[in-house]
Amino acid sequence: MKKPARMLLFISSILLPFVVYLPIWKIELDAPQYPEGLSLQIHANDIRGNVDIINGLNHYIGMKTMHKEDFIEFTVLPYIILGFSILFFIGAWVNRKKVLYFLFSAFVLFGVIAMVDFWKWEYDYGHDLDPNAAIQVPGMAYQPPLIGFKQLLNFGAYSIPDVGGWIFIGIGLMLLTGVILEWRNSKNPRSVLSILPLLFFLHGCSLEVKPIQVGRDSCHFCKMGISDIRFASALLTQQGKTYPFDDLKCLLNYLQINKETQVKDIYVSNFSGKHELVLASQAYFISSPSLGSPMTGNFAAFVDKNELIKNNQALAGEEKTWESIRQ
């Protein structure tokens, strides 16, 4: 191996043991009765967070209680992670290209198996319900999302990697970089096929805003049901959460009060066409009292400048930029 690939393998061996001590995955639950939210943090050898509260709530709908003793994974996972760390160190010491390819493939396979096992646990947890539960909703299952957002009755469930999980993904990226660097110097182009599984996995981990569902979603600020998609907006956090709002005014008020929110992107609904969510920074705005938006923000957003001009002829409003609205 060339020096860069060897160093990446060595750095991976140093970083991986931290995954044993840091939370790997987290599931956060939001509901009106729990404005501060509830969370589960999944470690390599434990499950932490608001476990007792969630177990108490789940009892009413017939879901099993969670205890770390019920998971054999918590017994073997730390040893597997530390085993990979040792193998990475040996691989850097042996300094053979084929060893790098083998370790990368094994690491990706381990990641895929771990995600499948996690999905299976979520499936059993959400579908195997007590038929004598106090609250029963015919046909309803409570499987949390593998990654991303899912609405479960009045709870919004967010499932994303935690610190240890991002380290794990970062190590995968470093190994991928090492494989690419070695492949570029290799006479065997078929070796690039080994990087495809991780590419698909990373694609699935991208953070995206969730579409707003009229009649089902409620404004994250005023708690009113979203009934007019033309004025809706959304906030995407750095953690991958989507907060819907029924009016741009509500979103701005929320940001004014919650200044600690880690914002990734802000989206607004396109006033014309299919009312898709578009980046606020790329939209054109009209402000007019005649719009009559739900919370009297009275802003209309357009993805196309010509649509703004056409609508403004009827609305007689004032053109605005996103920068001026945020101020």
Name the nearest CA neighbour of 107 among 189, 171, 167, 39.
171
Amino acid at 126: G
Cα–Cα distance for residue pair 225/29, rounded to 1 Å: 19
The ranges assigned to domains in the chain are 3-204, 229-326
Cα–Cα distance for residue pair 242/227, rounded to 1 Å: 18
DSSP state of 185: T
List the one residue out of 16, 32, 36 whose CA is nearest residue 24: 16
Bridge-partner residues for 302, per DSSP? 284
- Select from 261, 157, 151, 147 the least CA-distant residue to 206: 147
264-287 burial, b for 16+ CB within 10 Å, e for fewer?
Answer: ebbbbbbbbeebebbebeebbbbb
Q: Are 268 and 278 in contact (CB under 8 A)?
A: yes
Place of tokens 């396979």: 109
Which residue type, as a one-letter code, is found at position 13?
Answer: S
Q: What is the mean pLDDT of the chain?
A: 86
> What pLDDT is recorded for position 194?
47
pLDDT, residue 129, reads 83
Nearest alpha carbon to residue 146 among 23, 21, 25: 25
Instruction: Identify the pLDDT of residue 213.
Output: 87
Lowest average pLDDT, out of 47-56, 263-272, 309-318, goes to: 309-318
What's the rounded Cα separation, in Å, for the pair 103 and 109? 10
Determine the Cα–Cα distance for residues 9 and 11; give it in Å rounded to an integer. Answer: 6
Residue 132 has pLDDT above 80, yes or no: yes
Q: Which helix (H) or strand (E) holds 266?
A: strand 263-269
Under a CB-based contact definition with an 8 Å cutoff, are residues 179 and 194 in contact? yes
Q: Mean pLDDT over residues 170-179, rounded?
A: 92
- pLDDT tens by residue, 248-290: 999 999 999 988 888 999 999 999 888 999 999 999 999 999 8
Give pLDDT, residue 174: 93
pLDDT at 142 over 90: no
Neighbouring CB atoms inside 10 A of 159's CB total: 20
Nearest to 275, CA basis, from 301, 251, 249, 295 = 301
User: Pick the residue with more confidence: 151 or 107?
Assistant: 107
- 99 is written with which tokens? 């060893």
Adjacency order of strands within the sheet including 277-279: 242-245, 233-237, 263-269, 277-279
Is the pLDDT reported for residue 156 higher than 60? yes
Sheet holding 25-31, edge to edge: 47-49, 34-42, 25-31, 155-161, 148-152
**Which residue type sits at 322?**
W
Q: Kindly state the percentage of the chain with pLDDT values over 70.
A: 93
Cite the DSSP H helix spans in the chain. 3-15, 18-21, 51-60, 73-94, 97-127, 163-184, 196-204, 248-257, 305-315, 322-326
Q: Which amino acid is at 153?
A: L
| Cα separation values, 186 from 2, 202, 246, 324, Å | 11, 25, 55, 54
The Cα–Cα gap between 146 and 26 comes to 10
